[in-house]
């Protein structure tokens, strides 16, 4: 989940779309501004992408949740 500077959602969305490894971005209402879906092979790759998200100029906070497939 990602929070951005108020009023900068469109700019932040455009920034996020340029980060390689992001699969989907959903603009949501409530505690967070975006839910960002990242699909990676390992946690090292996840960490690298999350670091890039946190470096985006309009991002103020992130919350990472790791999902696992049930079989």
| pLDDT-flagged residues of the chain (< 50) | none
Q: Which of 21, 26, 71, 63 is nearest to 12 (CA)?
A: 26
Predicted TM-score (pTM) of this structure: 0.88
| pLDDT value for 29 | 95
| pLDDT value for 59 | 97
| pLDDT value for 1 | 98
| pLDDT value for 71 | 86
Q: Is 53 exposed, middle or buried (0-12, 13-18, 19+ CB in 10 A)?
A: buried
| pLDDT value for 67 | 87
| pLDDT value for 68 | 81
Architecture, CATH, for domain 2-62:
2-Layer Sandwich (3.30)
């Amino acid at each position: 989940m990602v929070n951005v500077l108020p009023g900068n959602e469109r700019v932040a969305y455009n920034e996020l779309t340029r980060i390689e490894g992001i699969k989907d971005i959903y603009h949501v209402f409530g505690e967070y501004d975006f839910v960002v879906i990242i699909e990676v092979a390992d946690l090292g790759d996840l960490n690298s992408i999350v670091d890039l998200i946190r470096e985006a100029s309009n991002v103020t906070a992130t919350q990472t949740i790791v999902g696992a497939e049930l079989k």
